[in-house]
A and B are shown apart, each in its own frame.
Chain A
Amino acid sequence: MSLLDLHEGQQGVLDRLELPEEAARRLMELGFLPGSTVVAAKCAPGGDPRVFRVDGAEIALRSATAARLKLRVPAPATPEQAG
């Protein structure tokens, strides 16, 4: 699962960034750290790029990048989180 699979309002916990080190670092500085909660927000008309809310900021990523940010697969016992 990646950020791309989140619908607007859904959230997930970031597991890893499958990006070159430089790019990953840049995103980490913006708040995309493994373990942080990311909420999918609006997207541009046409669906790409998409805006994600992380650590109180809203950051737009192209789908190609969002697909490389993998989410933790939720444990089966996790209570359902409202979007």
Chain B
Amino acid sequence: MKVCRGCNSVALPSRPRAPRAVAIVGPPNSGKSTLFNRLSGLRQKVANYPGVTVEQRLGRARINGGGEVVLIDLPGLYSLTPRSEDERVARDVLSGEMRDCPCPEAVLLVLDSTHLARHLTLAAPILGLGLPCLVVLNMADELRQRGGAVDIEALARELGAPVALVSALQGEGLEVVRSFLQRWGAAPAPAALPVLYDVPRCRAWASRVGQRASYQAPAPSLVTRRLDAIFLHPWWGVLILAVVLVMVFQAIFAWSRPLTDGVQALIAFSGARLGALLPASPLRSLLLEGVWGGVGSVVVFLPQILLLFAFLGILEDSGYLARAALIADRTMARIGLQGKSFIPLLSAHACATPAILAARTIENKRDRIATILIAPLVTCTARLPVYTLVIAAFLPERPLLGPLLGTRAAAILGLYLLGFLAALGTAWLLKSSILKSDPTPFVLEMPPYRRPTLRALADRLVDRARIFLRRAGTVILAIAVTMWLMAHLPLEEERQPPIEHSFVGTLGRLIEPAVKPLGFDWKIGVGLISSLAAREAIVGTLGALHGLDPEARTLGLQEALRKDLTPSGAVALLVFFALTMPCLITFGLVGRETGSWKWPLLQFAYMGVLAYTGAWVAHRLAGLLG
């Protein structure tokens, strides 16, 4: 029996009923995750390995005959040398030393058949583990199309392990994988293995094995070269990238409109129906204003976020994103970052959390931390409702550039620019001080261009939607309910207190001296506190506070704001939001991803000071200018 140190009891062999676990291993870009998605469908769980920032993806695959196996999708690896965090995690999982992770009893080694000579290098350490192993040669369709070939029987003899030629993307050849999952054989018995930590020898071994299996590398993809001639063209390349970026923004802000409106209408409609069903009581108010209103105000952003991810998914699956990173590298280098930081900063325009996750592709740890620290300065979609409300209340719409640009759109653009410049400046500051880089060279693999498939895209979107909705159902829900309770308690003579006497009111009075220099009253102050949970929460909070305030009840929210805020206070509020502290979800994620609370604390303090100072200066300046 295999000794499994530190393993969670789920996978202990002494429990005969627990499903057996199989690890999926492979180099980056080998299509490992596509295979994982194919085999496990939607039955996945994403978490982090304890103590490290590496994502743990577990899935369940049904096997013939009714049983199930647990699939562990390990991070992409070039070798098992435990240098990077990813490689350390992979080694620990494979040797059964990882806490809270089932101990794998077999391995699916996924290699890109179009890069077999190179990818076979990883086979040496994996086969050396002594676990039953199926070598999955992926991208069979591409190998065929481009005139490559491999004798899988000869390869199986050389490696002493079964080999399957599949296309995970097209679903071709997966029966072999499924029957391996159902019943795997003995440990592999390779003809020979090289010294594992000697890279040149491993490579020599890999090419010898390739030769014996009569491996013929496919002809370099003509399509890829032709497309690169366009996409990396000195002028066209830059122009196309600019067009792509404009399209991404257009998608987030314009094309998502009907979808967002639809979701909003749906939430309002269902809220109204629910309200009609319930008798008037504090419970009804809690459900409608607290739960439905609070959670609904966040769920409205789902279409926008999914649209952004659809775009990013298409760009990534097609291979264009690597080119975009290549083109951006030179510009990013000026502020001390690199091309790979470009993708997270682009995603940050939707939300900082996916951006922080996307920073995982950056190998240089300092560059990665710098990217994570500046991501929340980029204006995320959650700030849009705040901008829209304040600008609509204070700035009359006038055309600036004919029908192209009005004053309000210009103000929003200006706020975007402010956030972006703050991010760039901060990056430069970090990279020339505490995060000065160690000399890890910038290396970026250019995958061939591929046609993105609907299936892979759908898998991504479902994954994202699930993460987003889980957040709305937990953190946002908790905040909304807390806000509601704080506004309705403590009871005065068993009745709801006037808002000034509620906990929220008390809190507001407490912080009023701190926000007064910025031109804010206590309601805005409470709104700012609630915006720590989610930026857009301030709109809901202000709505609730004004709705409860008998004086303001008759006024719309815009009018109520005009009554509470001076124009210079409004400018200060906008500037504050452009530079404001990361929301709590981001805060937690930064802690998790950087592996230390020092970074999110630094980020929070820095952005807090930046926002406060910026708002104060804006308030003074706007006051002077009238």
> Do the beta carbons of A33 and B443 come within 8 Å of each other?
no
**How far apart are the CA atoms of A46 and B331 in the complex, in Å?**
10
Q: Which residue of B lies closest to A46 (CB)?
A: B330
Contact A62–B441 (Cβ < 8 Å): yes
Q: Is A76 positioned at the interface, with any CB of B under 8 Å from its CB?
A: no
Q: How large is the interface on A (under 10, 10 to 19, 20 to 34, 35 or more residues)?
A: 20 to 34
CA distance A7 to B354 in the complex (A): 39
Q: Are A29 and B121 in contact (CB under 8 A)?
A: yes
Given known A-B contacts A25-B199, A48-B330, A55-B117, A61 and B443 have beta carbons under 8 A apart: yes
Q: A23-B439, A62-B329 are in contact. Are A57 and B118 (CB under 8 A)?
A: yes
Q: Which residue of B lies closest to A51 (CB)?
A: B446
Q: Which residues of chain A in 38-79 are interfacial with respect to chain B, using CB atoms and an 8 Å cutoff?
A: 41-46, 48-49, 51, 53, 55-62, 64-65
Check if B115 sits within 8 Å of A59, measured CB to CB: no
A65 vs B203: C-alpha distance when bound (angstroms)? 22
Any A CB within 8 A of the CB of B256: no
Is the beta-carbon distance between A59 and B203 smaller than 8 angstroms?
no
B326 close to A49 (CB less than 8 A): yes
The CA of A42 and the CA of B224, in the complex, are separated in Å by: 11
Contact B327 A42 (CB under 8 A): no
Give B531 Cβ to nearest chain A Cβ, in Å.
Answer: 39
- Number of residues of chain B lying within 8 A (CB) of chain A: 40
- Quick one: which of B211-230 are within 8 Å of A by CB? 217-218, 220, 224, 228-229
Instruction: Indicate if B445 sits at the interface (CB-CB under 8 A).
Output: yes
Of B327, B339, B444, chain A has the most CB atoms within 10 Å of the CB of B444
Q: Knowing A44-B327, A44-B330, A48-B330 are in contact, say whether A19-B441 is a contact too (CB < 8 A).
A: yes
Residues of chain A contacted by B329 (CB below 8 angstroms): 44, 48-49, 60, 62
In whole Å, how far is A44's beta carbon from the nearest beta carbon of chain B? 5
Compute the total of residue contacts between A and B using a CB distance below 8 Å: 107
Residues of B within 8 A of A65 (CB): 441-443
Q: Which residues of B contact A25 (CB under 8 A)?
A: 81, 199
Could you say which residues of chain B place their CB within 8 Å of the CB of A51?
Answer: 228, 232, 326, 446
Residues on A with C-beta less than 8 A from B326 are 44, 49, 51, 60
Given contacts A46-B330, A55-B117, contact A30 B220 (CB under 8 A): no
Beta-carbon contact of A33 and B203 below 8 Å: yes
B440 an interface residue at 8 Å Cβ cutoff?
A: yes
**Cross-chain contact B121 with A45 (CB below 8 angstroms):** no
A27 to B83, CA, bound (A): 14
Contact: B445 with A58, CB < 8 Å?
yes
CB distance from A21 to the nearest CB of B (A): 11
A49 with B446, Cβ < 8 A, contacts A29-B199, A44-B329 known? no
Judging by beta carbons under 8 Å apart, are A60 and B327 in contact? no
Q: What 14 new A-B contacts, CB under 8 Å, besides A30-B443, A45-B233, A64-B441?
A: A22-B440, A23-B440, A23-B441, A28-B200, A31-B118, A33-B199, A44-B326, A44-B327, A48-B329, A51-B326, A60-B326, A60-B442, A61-B441, A65-B442
